[in-house]
Structure 1
């Protein structure tokens, strides 16, 4: 609803603080205690409010920033603003939502993808790989998949956790979406062994690329 102030929103978020939710979030590297379903309900009520979103982001509070990403207008942000926001987004959920809900919808997405994927900061680089994974799945034209696999093969094994996870996702996506590169993607996954022993809950697919690729291809074949 229009006319809502930052102070009012922060007070509402503070009232939703849940120690159990915070404990769960902190296990994943996040630093807020607001249930995301309740946060989404606030966003649904507020609807799109770009000015309020900018003010909420400026508070630096993670819950406020997550809400900002839900009520903002993605195409309203300039390239440099998005770059600055990404470099400020150090917690996983804020980082992920910024890339998924805002940057992917921005006219600067490709420009930022190319800049970020080569960035020396591994957290920033992981955003570049996340955008690349999206392109592998949706707009692979003009992507050099061989070159991407070369980089993954050379660097993924020793990459920091968040960057490694993003590169592994790209590896799996290449194998899932592009049959001509599937054997190589699986082979790279087998040789590097990244996330091979990752604890996977029953009923979920392992993030280990060879298993992930095989399972997703199997599902798609079964549907056909």
Structure 2
């Protein structure tokens, strides 16, 4: 399939309600409103096509970038290429798929994480905190957790919303998996108050750290 053929297919699958939902979630206007399940079905047919994935990404279209993350070869990317892709994500959904399906499979993800933890670019910083939260969830070996708490307390209130989300995930991970820092993590969450009034469906846990940590610790027994 060519890029033009795929974009034409996206147009035929576009849905007004989905477009409105995407815009509300921060997606730019360059999107068709294709359901994620339809994107996965297209990817299943294509399987892997690295060059096509790169061309799709370059369009700047939301669905094209999402599809690219599903058909690209992560290990065929240099660290510099992956850094460039990360910085050129169009929205949070794209950034999260890139992190989950591409960066997570790359052999240099840890060196990139360290680089991104110093970045001012919102998508790089979001990725850096995403993979830091992942490391905390897996035990946090080699990480300076008190220093991370200091940074979160100092930086999260003024961080870009896209970065706040994964910083908050890191804060919650520290509170959930590291009892020795739980009290401080919860106190930081209370003081900052991020997502305190976040609406959630019945039975779901809100991302407000004090509630999130308490719920997860209770489940752990």
The two structures have a TM-score, normalised by structure 1, of 0.92
Q: Quick one: distance in 1 between partners of 2:45 and 2:123?
A: 32
Which residue of structure 2 lines up, in the alignment, with residue 14 of structure 1? 11
Structure 1, gaps ≥5 residues long: none
Structure 2 residue aligned with 1:88:
88
Name the counterpart of 1:5.
2
Deviation at 1:158, TM superposition (A): 2.3
Q: Structure 2, unaligned stretches of length 5 or more?
A: none
Deviations 1:117-148 (A, max 9, x none): 11122332122111111111125211111111
Report deviation, 1:71. Answer: 1.0
Deviations 1:141-197 (A, max 9, x none): 111111111111111122221222221111001111122221221121122222212
Kindly indicate whether residue 198 of structure 2 is the aligned counterpart of residue 201 of structure 1. no
Q: Secondary structure, in 3 states, of the residue corresponding to 1:157? A: helix
CA distance in 2, matches of 1:48, 1:176: 37
Q: Is the 8 A contact 1:90 1:123 kept in 2?
A: no
Aligned equivalent of 1:124: 124
TM-superposed CA distance for 1:70, in Å, is 0.7
Partner of 2:160: 160
- Aligned partners of 1:162 and 1:61: how far apart in 2? 19
Alpha-carbon distance between aligned partners in 2 of 1:81 and 1:160, rounded to the nearest angstrom: 24
- Per the TM alignment, residue 7 of structure 1 is displaced from its structure 2 partner at its CA by 2.3
Report if aligned partners of 1:136, 1:174 keep a CA contact under 8 Å in 2: yes
SS in 1 for 2:97: helix
Following the alignment from structure 2 to structure 1, what is the Cα–Cα distance between the partners of residues 126 and 65? 19
Q: Do residues 58 (structure 1) and 55 (structure 2) align?
A: no
Which residue of structure 2 aligns with residue 140 of structure 1? 140
Give me the whole-angstrom Cα distance separating, in 2, the residues matched to 1:134 and 1:55.
Answer: 30
